Amino acid sequence: MLQIRDLSVSFGRRRAVDGVSFDVEEGEFFLVIGESGSGKSLTGGAILGLNPSGSTRTGSIRFKGREMLELPERELRHLRGDQIGIVYQNPLSAMNPVIRVGDQIAESIIVHGKGSGRAAATRAIELLERVHIPDPARVAQAFPHEISGGMRQRAMIAMALACGPSLLIADEPTTALDVTIKAQILELFAELRRERSLTIILITHDMGVVTQLADRVLVMYAGKVAEVGPVETIMNQPAHPYTKALMLSGAMSDAPFKSVLQVIPGSAPTLDARPLGCRFNPRCAYAQDDCRATMPSLRPIAGSLAACHHPLVGFRHSELVA
Amino acid sequence: MTVFLLRRVGWAILVLFVVATLTFVLSHVVPADPAAFLAGQNATADTVARIRAEYGLDQPLLIQYLSYLRGLLHGDFGISLRTGRPVSEDLASFLPATLELLFFSFAIYVATSLFLAIIAAKRPGGRLDSGIRLFTMLGSGMPVFWLGMALQFLFFYKLGLLPLGGRFPLRAIAPPTVTGFLLVDTLLAGQPGAFLSALSCLILPSAAIVLNLLAVGTRMSRAALISESGKQYVRTARGKGVGPRRILYRHVLRNAMTPILASTSIQFGYMISWVILVEVIFDWPGIGLYAYQSFQVFDYAPVVALALVSTAVFSIINVLLDILYPIIDPRMRSLRA
Amino acid sequence: MVVLSWLFVLMLVCFAVAPSLIAPRNPVALDILHRLQPPSFAHLFGTDEGGRDVFSRVVYGTRYSLGISAAIVLSAAVFGVVYGALSGVGPRWLDEILMRIVDIFFGFPALVLALAVAAALGRGLTSVAVALSLIWWPGIARLVRGEVQRIRERPHVEAARAIGVSPTSLIWRHILPFVMQEVNVRVTTDIGYALVAVTALSFLGLGAQSPTPEWGLLIRDSQDYFGSAWWYLVFPGVMIMATTAACSIIGDSLASHRESGVAP
Amino acid sequence: MLPSKPCLMALAAGVMLASGVTGARAADQKLFVWAEAVEPSTVDPAKSDVNQEMTIARNVFDHLTNFDLDHPDHILPALATSWTEDGTSWTFKLRDGVAFHNGQAFDANDVKATIERDLRIGQGQSYLVGDIKTVTVLDPHTVKIETAKPDVYLAANLSRIEIMSAKDIAAHAADSDHGDSYFSAHADGTGPYKMLSWTRGAQIDLERNKSWWGQFPAKPFDHVIDRFVTQASDRSRGLEGGEYDLANFVPRDEAVRIGKSKGFYLVEGNNLWAWPAIYLNTKLAPTSNESFRKALVESFSYDAMNQYFLGASVTPRGPVPAWVPGSPEKDLAVIKTDLNAAKADLKASGLSNPTMKCSIPSGFSEFAFAATVLQASAAQIGINVQIEQLPFVQAIEAIKSNKSNCFVLGNANLSPTDPTRFFAAHYLTGGFYNSANYSNPQLDALVQEIPTVTDPQKRYEMLKQASEMVVNSHTIIWAARPTTIVPVPDGVGGYRIDPAEYINVRLWELYKK
């Protein structure tokens, strides 16, 4: 369904996303994971051409066989919201504060010509009901600040689903939600996927998400793919030391990603200060001379693809738990 | 909401009281005898004394102040020494002209500054943005009175396109007075030609006012638009497939309106001040020209009336804005409650 | 642009400080034989109805126009800083009272009030200065109070308070230096606006009286000769325009320096 | 399409249509627009006092007599067709068949009511007829006026008294203010133009009185707009741009320039406007010192003033202009700059480094200029003059309360023939504009007596003596006496300058060329 090849997103000469390639299959629940600044959100945005002004995309993104990078803005606009829905984090600021929730959902239907006025409004209420919002008619009349955080996130999802897209990109949809709400939202994703055979790309830094739902996982570090593979493989046999570190923090169930930083000394490099060789090398316990000299490329290692000169072998997730 | 409004109105009354007292006290700091002026060049001392008594100018200051305040409560601003009529009557004939110029300029100001801000905010730092910045800055640096004369010179004297001054072209026939606003009255009378005549008189004075205020207005609106354009809900809207124009008008502009309106309130204060200057230059028969002519001959009651009336207009506008905020931004509703 | 503005302001300061060194002629002495002469080498800005050199009058006028504007804004700033600081660090009830007074001043169109006050006090630059100072300080007071309250919450101030720095020294050494950056920006820009206000009141006949070569008055006087002597009207106006623009450009540049330069 | 685009289009359409309007208005050939510097305070002739009020008074009302502008001592009949005089008693025969604009017939009662009302109010031009004791109606067409003492100038002065309707006055006699507020807004005379409406702040509309008893020229103006145009620059630009047909108080340089440009001609003549006379306060040092005052008079650069007036002015020799009937001007000594004499007189005054303050009324460039000349002239002999411009009322207050040494003022004698009016308010004891605070009982008595003397030669001698008294008091510097220059468009004919008025407009004499 989606083939991404050698995608780069650059700000001037600086590449925030640097040669990322991956495929997403129809009906798949695909997870993109990485620290903030790893380029994961930019990758998600790049699919729809929604990156910040001043950035340029190179490479190739093919959605259902169409080259997205070559589509003019007008046609991209037709795809957005219609065929591909997107859900953002922090719905309080991601929703327009001065427009009623129902109208914001209906807008998607109206701009894509799938109904107007009353019909769109009725559909908005149905959608709210669909995402399990109690009293959807009242919520439709409410402004975003008048409803709870969890409801806002549900409303955001309803908005993304309004035109019945086949692909849903969810960019950190559970950040800033408390644990129970988070679980409910994730359950909603799973349910939607089941019932509508929706393809979902979930972008997160939240390891807790991984284990529960995803089919495959893509780990990003400093603009590069560190590792990509089926969720079980990655979970149980991470090849990349960075993935391992993520797993370590992820193993502590729902602990925030911040703890990764505690597991791995140092911090992710900024856009301007990327090290030579493997970008993870300054923080990597296994780093050797070649790691500091040449950049590793993705290669198959034990069921997944990893970009590492010295992949971890024989590491079992279960050992960690033990 | 009602309580809030009542508080605002009470506050406006307090402000008016302060203005009334301040202007009264100050106007009596410098002793001058308007009666002498009033009596005329060849009047005898007796006549001057008689006129002084007629206008109560021989009373103790406190008595004058109290009767002045009592008068104000009844809408009585005293008598203009220059026109010999009650100031309230004069105001009734001059105020509509001022309000018409004020509101017309205000509308043009809001439209133009938004228009320029929208263009400028499209590509911040771009050539158009810099051009608008330079243009508006030049406008704001030009003193209004100077700008007004420059416009007269260009559009009347050199090009002969627009009238020199006044509110209605000399040789045109004015419509019957209904609202006092010529733009409205001409339309009510079904005289589109007269409407355009009245409009032609409004163009230069309001241009002088608007050009002066445009810099600040555009800058504020531009900043608000840029800041709103960077907000996440814009990204959401784009993700929904909403086009740039709809994003601008339905999303960004509505959110930017709150900060824009807040700056408008301050700008409106300036606008009132500039209207007075412009009236003098363009012989616009409003309260500014009225007060100007009056203080030239030491007739002070109209000046006080001008201060009070413009404060009242300003207060009303501020209260209206306060009512408008929660309509535009629902978040304010819960704040007010 | 910024450099140019600084140069222009420097030039104005020279005009104001030592007009006699720059102006080629006496600004008030009459030379009837050379009245209303167009600009030439002898008279850079031409001459007025009394044969006076408009350039010299503009140079001498700097002291009045810009001097008064600066005086208005600076006195308003001094008062506004004290007032605002008092309100910012004082007890709540004091803050409340002080700020309600300021609010009153925001309740009326300031320049109209200045006009009324100046008209009441009688004509002259003093009246204008008094009237405009009266309306100018509340803006600065409000700004200062806001800044003081903002900076008061900053860690370095909290820390200083915690280690027992005296309140006076807290204000002087830890709060005011930061507030002053903001005030500097405001004062710079405001001088330009005050100039417009001063010249406007003079133009209405409330300010300087001839033969004082105040810029606004020059424009007022020049009106009578509009058709015969454009230079008389144009040059004082250009000076006001350029000064206001320079002030706002310098203000902007100060503001951007402050934004990047302040310690968090 | 952005929302502002329709706005811009409307603006453009407005501009286009406005230019259409500008083009169309030339079609109205019978309309005349007079640009007035100030809006009148009143149209009540009993209170009319200044230029803008005269525009209405003179054109809407008639007078008992008239005078020849070129020979002010030729008194012509007007509402009175003939008159006889017998010392203190005058009998006027009134014109028959004259009607007020509201249709009422004019008769002797109107004369009586008008004069009595003028005297009661005591403002405006009533000072010209202040000597009248009684007015008696002999029959509807005959009225007898008796004065307290003989007044040879009465008939001439009556040419300044506008006749109102007795019925109107009676109708408002019961008002609390005796109709003052009514008459200040309503003018109903028998004159050549009717007042139609007064749009406050903008204009007064007048319409030609087609049944006027007098004679209009061919192609008179049927409709007149008295438009208030505050800014002098607007008046000149509007005149030049064809918006106005005539304007008052066009600044001199602009007047000359416009008058000499294509499509205009210049009318030049004497009148009362703006002779800057500098009054030196006799009650405040240093001007209380006579030698000092003399030094100032001698140091003053009269040439500078004449150059300022572009050569169209003379240096006065005394208070009465040469063109006033019976003026002694030609027999008075020439006053001229003499720095040596000035230095000697300053020395004689015994003052060293004297400083004096000049409070002058603002708004009159001629006055400000005269003060500036005084400043420069006095500096030459070491006197420091500080100039302060104040509003008229404040300036005169300053000198009368001895806070200022000098004051600059024009003149305000509206009588065509009566020279004593040049003295009354200005030089006599207690005169309102006696800004030098000068008092000379001998002069007071002499001037009082002049109107009672029937022998012209004797009057002439007395007037000369009175003039010399004022000159020798050195309380006045007559800076210059300019002629007035009025630029008139080629399309307008018949404009004449009234010597005994400020800039005037006699609408009934104007015609379309």
pLDDT tens, B159-204? 888 888 888 887 777 777 788 888 888 888 888 888 888 899 999 9
Among D163, D145, D143, smallest CA distance to D154 is for D145
To the nearest whole Å, the CA of B255 is away from the closest chain A CA by 7
* Ramachandran region, residue D219 (left: φ > 0; alpha: ψ -120 to 50; beta: rest): left
What's the Cα-to-Cα distance from B276 to each of B65, B289, B306, C204, rounded to whole Å?
26, 7, 9, 10
Exposure on the CB side of residue D52, measured as CA atoms within 13 A: 20
Q: D284 with D404: CB under 8 angstroms?
A: yes
Classified as helix, coil or strand, A119 is helix
Residues in chain D, pLDDT under 70: 1-29, 273-274, 363, 391
Mapped onto helix, strand or coil, the DSSP state of residue D376 is helix
C145 Cα to chain B: minimum distance (Å): 19
Question: How close is the nearest chain C Cα to the Cα of B291, in Å?
Answer: 9
Nearest CA in chain C to B281: C204
DSSP D122: -
Q: Does C229 touch chain D (CB under 8 A)?
A: yes
- Residue appearing with tokens 């589109």: B192
Report the sign of the C-alpha dihedral through residues B90, B96, B99, B105, in that order: negative
The residues, ordered by sequence, that sit 6+ positions from A250 with a Cβ below 8 Å of its Cβ are A207, A208, A210, A211
Query: Is D390 within 8 Å of C226 when comparing Cβ atoms?
Result: no
- Name the one residue in this structure whose structure tokens are 């009326």: C108
Mutation for C interface: D235, D243, D248, D254, most C CBs within 10 A: D254
8 A C-beta contact, residue B182 and residue B198: yes
> What average pLDDT does this structure show over B201-213?
92
Q: What are the tens digits of pLDDT across the range A6-19?
A: 888 888 888 888 88
D76 token code pair: 């012509």
The pLDDT value given to residue D395: 80
Q: Which residues of A touch B254 (CB under 8 A)?
A: 96, 98-99
Distance set, CA D229 to CA A2, D225, D247 (Å): 76, 12, 9
The structural domains of chain D, with segments of one domain joined by +, span 8-44+191-270+485-512, 65-170, 274-482
pLDDT at B88 over 70: yes
Q: Chain B: residue nearest D412 by CA?
A: B41
Contact (CB<8Å) B240/A111: yes
Scan residues 73-112 of B and list those with Cβ closer than 8 Å to D: 82-85, 90, 93-94, 97, 108, 111-112
Q: Which amino acid is at C8?
A: F
Question: Which residues does chain B have within 8 Å of residue D2's beta carbon, measured at their own beta carbons?
Answer: 115, 118
Q: Which of B293, B282, B267 is nearest to B150 (CA)?
A: B282
Q: Is the dihedral of CA C35, C41, C46, C52 positive or negative?
A: negative
Which secondary structure element, helix H or strand E, spans residue D92, and what is its range?
A: strand D89-94
Sheet architecture: strand order including A55-63: A14-24, A2-11, A55-63, A66-67
pLDDT of residue D462: 95
Mutation target vs D (from B42, B105, B278; most D CBs, 10 A cutoff):
B42
Nearest to C125 by CA among C186, C58, C190, C199: C199
CB A84 within 8 A of CB A167: yes
- Assess whether chains C and D touch, using the rule of 3 or more C-beta pairs within 8 angstroms: yes
Token code pair at residue B100 = 């018409």
Question: Within 13 Å, how many C-alpha atoms sit on residue D397's CB side?
Answer: 16
Query: Which 3 state secondary structure label does DSSP give D481?
Result: strand
Contacts by B185-188, CB closer than 8 A, 24 or more apart: none
In angstroms, rounded to a whole number, what is the distance separating the alpha carbons of residues B76 and C129?
Answer: 31
Answer yes or no: are the C-beta atoms of C65 and C194 closer than 8 Å: no
Q: Do D227 and B166 touch (CB under 8 A)?
A: yes
pLDDT at B31: 56
What is the Cβ-side half-sphere exposure of residue A91, based on CA atoms within 13 angstroms?
Answer: 27
Closest CA to B109 of B263, B307, B310: B263
- For residue B251, the chain A residues in CB contact (below 8 A) are 96, 99
Considering CB atoms only, which of D237, D240, D372 is closest to C30? D372
Amino acid in the structure at residue C150: R
| DSSP-derived pairing of the beta strands D246-247 and D31-36 | parallel
Instruction: Please name the residues in contact with D391: beta carbons below 8 A apart, sequence gap of 6 or more.
Output: B32, B295, B296, B297, B298, C122, C123, D361, D362, D363
pLDDT band at B270 (very low <50, low <70, confident <90, very high): confident
Q: C108 vs B144: CB contact, 8 Å cut-off?
A: no
Pick the residue from chain D with its C-alpha nearest to C51: D308
Are the Cβ atoms of C120 and B23 closer than 8 angstroms? yes
Q: How far is A281 from chain B (nearest CA, A)?
A: 34
Chains B, C: CB pairs < 8 Å = 128
A198-213, pLDDT tens digit by residue? 899 988 877 666 566 7
Whether B31 contacts chain D with CB within 8 A: yes
CA distance B163 to chain D (A): 8
Cross-chain residue pair B115–D433, CB shorter than 8 Å: no
Which strand (E) or helix (H) includes residue D116? helix D108-121
Which of B236, B254, B255 is closest, CB to CB, to A94? B236
d(CA C247, CA C63): 16
Maximum CA extent, chain D: 88
Cβ of B157 within 8 Å of Cβ of D240? The answer is: yes
Residue A249 pLDDT level (bands cut at 50, 70, 90): low
Among candidate residues D43, D48, D40, D47, the one with its CA nearest the CA of residue D187: D43
List the beta bridge partners of residue A121.
none
> CATH says D65-170 is which class?
alpha beta
- The token pair that represents B9 in the structure block: 């109105």
Q: Is the pLDDT of residue A240 over 80?
A: yes
pLDDT at B64: 82
Whether residue C86 contacts residue C141, with contact meaning beta carbons closer than 8 Å, is answered with no
The region of weakest confidence among A50-59, A154-163, D326-335, D431-440 is: A50-59
Tokens 């083009």 correspond to: D23
Q: Vertex B267, ends B261 and B269: CA angle to 5°? A: 120
User: Percent of chain B beyond pLDDT 70?
Assistant: 94
In contact, D207 and D201? CB cutoff 8 Å: no
Candidates C9, C108, C209, partner chain B, best to mutate (most B CBs within 10 A): C108
Contacts of B39 in chain D (CB under 8 A): 123
Put simply, the answer to whether D308 touches C50 (Cβ < 8 Å) is yes
- Predicted pLDDT of residue D18: 44
ipTM: 0.79
Give the C-alpha separation, D377 to D397, whole Å: 26
Residue D176: which H helix or E strand, with range?
A: none
State how beta strands D313-314 and D481-482 pair: antiparallel
CA B151 to chain centre: 20
Q: Are D460 and D332 in contact (CB under 8 A)?
A: no
The interface residues of chain B toward chain D in range 223-262, judged by CB-CB distance below 8 A, are none
Topology (CATH) of D274-482: Dipeptide-binding Protein; domain 3 (3.10.105)
Instruction: Spell out the per-residue pLDDT of chain C, length 264, in tens.
Output: 889 999 999 999 999 998 888 888 888 777 777 888 899 988 889 998 878 899 999 999 999 999 999 999 999 999 999 999 889 888 889 999 999 899 888 888 888 888 888 888 877 888 899 999 999 999 999 999 988 888 888 888 878 877 877 877 888 888 888 888 889 999 998 999 899 999 999 998 888 877 788 999 999 888 888 778 889 989 999 999 999 889 988 988 888 876 544 433
Q: Is pLDDT at B257 greater than 50 in this prediction? A: yes
Q: What pLDDT is attached to residue D274? A: 63
Q: Which of residues 38-57 of C touch B (CB under 8 A)?
A: none
Cα–chain-centroid distance for residue C232?
Answer: 23
Give the Cα separation of D405 and D287 in Å (integer).
6
pLDDT at B42: 60
pLDDT digits (tens, 9 = 90+) for A81-138: 888 888 887 777 888 888 899 999 899 888 888 888 888 889 899 889 888 888 889 9
Question: CB B153 to CB C113 under 8 A?
Answer: no
What's the pLDDT at D459? 93
- Tell me which DSSP letter residue B86 carries: B
| D511 three-state secondary structure | strand
Asked if B286 has any chain D CB less than 8 Å from its own CB, the reply is yes
The residue in chain B having the minimum alpha-carbon distance to the alpha carbon of residue A156 is: B236
Contact across the interface for C226 and D375, Cβ inside 8 Å: no
Residues D254, C49: C-beta atoms closer than 8 Å:
no
CA distance C55 to C44: 6
Query: Residue B21 in 3-state DSSP?
Result: helix
- Residue C108: which of B15, B26, B292 has the nearest Cβ? B15
Q: Tell me: domain D8-44+191-270+485-512, CATH 1.20.120.1200, correct?
A: no
Mean pLDDT of A151-177: 86
Mark yes or no for CB contact D308/C35 under 8 Å.
yes
Check residue B40 and give its pLDDT: 62
- Strands A55-63 and A66-67, by their bridges, are antiparallel
Question: What are all long-range contacts of D192-196, with beta carbons under 8 Å and residues at least 24 apart?
Answer: D192/D59, D192/D216, D192/D507, D192/D508, D193/D59, D193/D60, D193/D224, D193/D507, D193/D508, D194/D60, D194/D101, D195/D43, D195/D56, D195/D60, D195/D101
Minimal Cα distance from B332: which residue of A? Answer: A98
Residues 6+ apart with CB under 8 A from A123: A105, A106, A109, A115, A162
Q: What's the token pair of residue D359? A: 């409070």
pLDDT surpasses 60 at B274: yes
